[in-house]
Amino acid sequence: MNNISVVIPTRHRNKNLEECLKLLSPEEQNYPAEAYEIIVSDDGNKSTAESLIQNKFSWVKWVKGPAKGPAANRNNGVKYAKFDWIAFTDDDCLPSKNWLKSFNEAIEANPEINVFEGKTEADRIKRRFNEVAPINAEGGLLWSCNLMVKKSYYLKLGGYCEDFKFELEDIEFRTRVQKDKQPIIFVPKAHVCHPWRIINNRYKVEYESVLIFLDKHPDHQKHYNLSTRLKIITMMIFNLFRDAFKFRFRGIDYALIDLLYEFKSAFVIHFKVVENQKQVRKTA
């Protein structure tokens, strides 16, 4: 039996967090209460989850977050973890009853492995363009909403990179794990439901995150070159026409804005990469 510290970053989503914590209670999880702890790292500024946890989940440890984005918030939660294994999920996720048990069985069956990822699915089929959920049905993605990592290995890698303020921190973490030639075991029974979430606008900083990523991993530039990005945009256009009637055009304004932004990002990233390559040649 392995001792597990569950880290949940949160910010202004107490209703979602409450549903998540209910499913992680000792009454719900098929795992000994003494073998795991829950740490909620809270980045809230307009409100926090502290009183919710004090009143309804006294067995949960609430800590104030650093307010520097989700990557830093997760790292902050790990600072308070007392056990050898760290399980990450998000405040809007719904872990299954056997979530921790399944991860523990995988650890015991693979004692040499440091990183495991669980299966993440939505609660139903997608109904509109502006619904999002981080689906991971077959593994290989290592999304931060459902993974288990040995604490000593996580600290050795430096945790999530806090240069990322909004997104791509999980992709960058996965890239470092892969470059370290560490196997990642997929555990389908460690299941988490991530309900579809409607968003009306997206962070307009994707290209900034991509540029940070490429600065740290220049060998990945081929995945973000202009031709590759334009192929992705072409597929997005195809999917938009394919799904328009299926979704009854619901949320299509988001899809169109998203498409235009992807087109802009493709050229911003392309010219920035070209500029960086020129600088490298000048200094060589």
What integer best gives the mean pLDDT of the chain?
Answer: 93
Q: What is the mean pLDDT of residues 105-115?
A: 98
Q: How confident is the model at residue 197 (pLDDT cuts 50, 70, 90)?
A: very high
pLDDT of residue 184: 98
Tell me which DSSP letter residue 144 carries.
Answer: T
Spatial distance between the Cα atoms of 207 and 213, rounded to a whole number of angstroms: 10
Tell me which DSSP letter residue 256 carries.
Answer: H
Q: How confident is the model at residue 31 (pLDDT cuts 50, 70, 90)?
A: very high
Spatial distance between the Cα atoms of 90 and 250, rounded to a whole number of angstroms: 27
Say what percent of the chain tops pLDDT 90: 80
Q: How confident is the model at residue 131 (pLDDT cuts 50, 70, 90)?
A: very high
pLDDT of residue 109: 98
pTM for this predicted structure: 0.93
Q: What is the mean pLDDT of residues 53-58?
A: 96
Q: What is the mean pLDDT of residues 205-230?
A: 87
The C-alpha angle 273, 274, 280, rounded to 5 degrees, equals 90
pLDDT of residue 202: 58
User: Quick one: tokens of 84?
Assistant: 């050898």
Contacts of 24 (CB under 8 A, 6+ apart): 6, 38, 95, 99
> What is the maximum span of the chain, computed from C-alpha positions, in angstroms?
63
Q: What is the mean pLDDT of residues 115-140?
A: 96
Q: How confident is the model at residue 271 (pLDDT cuts 50, 70, 90)?
A: confident
pLDDT of residue 105: 98
Domains and CATH numbers, the chain: 4-198 (3.90.550.10), 206-283 (no CATH)
Q: How confident is the model at residue 272 (pLDDT cuts 50, 70, 90)?
A: confident
